[in-house]
A and B are shown apart, each in its own frame.
Chain A
Amino acid sequence: DSGVTQTPKHLITATGQRVTLRCSPRSGDLSVYWYQQSLDQGLQFLIQYYNGEERAKGNILERFSAQQFPDLHSELNLSSLELGDSALYFCASSVGRGADYGYTFGSGTRLTVV
Chain B
Amino acid sequence: AQTVTQSQPEMSVQEAETVTLSCTYDTSESDYYLFWYKQPPSRQMILVIRQEAYKQQNATENRFSVNFQKAAKSFSLKISDSQLGDAAMYFCAYRSITGGGNKLTFGTGTQLKVEL
Binding site for B on A (CB under 8 A): 2, 31, 33, 42-43, 45, 48, 55-58, 88, 90, 92, 94, 97-105, 107-108, 110
Assembled-state Cα–Cα distance A105/B91 (Å)? 13
Assembled-state Cα–Cα distance A94/B109 (Å)? 22
Q: Which of A42, A57, A92 has the most CB of B within 10 A?
A: A42
Closest to A56 in B: B101
Are the C-beta atoms of B101 and A103 separated by less than 8 Å?
Answer: no
Q: How many B residues have CB within 8 A of the partner chain?
A: 24
* Complex partner residue of A102 from B50, B97, B107, CB under 8 angstroms: B50
Assembled-state Cα–Cα distance A58/B1 (Å)? 12
Given contacts A101-B50, A108-B43, contact A42 B106 (CB under 8 A): yes
CB distance from B21 to the nearest CB of A (A): 16
What is the predominant secondary structure among interface residues of chain A facing chain B? strand
Kindly state whether residue B104 has any CB partner on chain A within 8 Å.
Answer: yes
Given contacts A42-B108, A99-B95, A100-B33, contact A48 B43 (CB under 8 A): no
* Complex partner residue of A48 from B50, B97, B102, B108, CB under 8 angstroms: B102
Residues of A within 8 A of B50 (CB): 101-102
Closest to B91 in A: A43
Assembled-state Cα–Cα distance A104/B103 (Å)? 13
Kindly state whether residue B111 has any CB partner on chain A within 8 Å.
Answer: no
Closest to A2 in B: B44
Kindly state whether residue B105 has any CB partner on chain A within 8 Å.
Answer: yes
A-B contact pairs, 24 of them (CB 8 A): A2-B46, A33-B102, A42-B109, A43-B91, A45-B104, A45-B105, A48-B102, A55-B101, A55-B102, A56-B103, A98-B95, A99-B33, A99-B103, A100-B33, A101-B50, A102-B37, A102-B47, A102-B93, A102-B95, A102-B104, A104-B47, A105-B45, A107-B43, A108-B44
